[in-house]
Amino acid sequence: MSGERPQYGTSTGGAVPVCPRHPDRPTYVTCQRCERPTCPECQRTAAVGVHCVDCVEGAARSRPAYRTSLGGRAPRGSAMLVTWTLIGLNTTVYALQWLGQVVGLDLTRTFFYAPVLTASEPWRMLTSGFLHSTGNVAHLLLNMYSLYLFGRMLEPALGRGRFLLLFLLSILGGSVGVLLLGNPLTPVLGASGGVFGLFGALFVLQRHLGQSITPILVLIGINLVFGFLFPGIAWEAHLGGLVTGALTAFVYTLLLRSRRRPGR
């Protein structure tokens, strides 16, 4: 019949096999798994012959998730996707802060955190962690470089979800440190709380794995001392992020131990 669409896997009249996904494409190549016709666009090379894209996707969904030594789901694709995304987000926000100054929109004042604003605008406890001082570009560069270095170590080991949760909780923990120990009227901003959370997490995880903790202890000590010696540095956020990151990593190790117990 004129205009009739081919049936699934066959052409009109059943004479020439066609691709199930593209009924207008005749093909004599069949999938080694389901034995259905598959056109060149839907073919995936296998160890023997080819598989259709449907079988490949089905096999990927049924394959058990590989987990790292620290219990995180091993990432597929870029092992630093979250790290690069966070760096890109912070850099973009920094550019918008500068642009806002030009057009009269003060993003820094809109999203920074001060303890006095906690009750009325609690979301600032998180948004302040993505702002940086427009008067000191080194503030952004140092934080992003630290995020890159520690993200390169922690994200592949923890998995994307746990790494992102660790960083965000550490930012909130930094704001809690400012709330408990800081001046209620002093505004704070920067990703330092999140970065110090990565410091604390690495310390706990290295102890858990039986690795040397001396280098990370020296790094933590030096950075904490800088926060106390130099004005304009929110040491309260550093301390809050450090404690939060360490506690979060400790919970991760507890979950890992419980998963390894017999019968779990």
Hey, which residues are catalytic here? 192, 238
Q: What are phi and psi of 168, to 5 degrees?
A: -65, -40
Exposed, middle or buried by CB within 10 Å (0-12, 13-18, 19+), for 159?
A: buried
SS3 113: strand
Residue appearing with tokens 């427009």: 134
Long-range CB contact pairs, 176-180, < 8 A, 24+:
176/125, 176/240, 176/244, 177/236, 177/237, 177/238, 177/239, 177/240, 177/241, 177/243, 178/113, 178/115, 178/234, 178/236, 178/237, 178/240, 179/115, 179/118, 179/125, 180/236, 180/240
Locate the DSSP E strands across the chain.
43-45, 50-52
- Contact between 240 and 193 under an 8 Å Cβ cutoff? The reply is yes
- Contact between 163 and 82 under an 8 Å Cβ cutoff? The reply is yes
Beta bridge partners of residue 51, listed in sequence order: 44
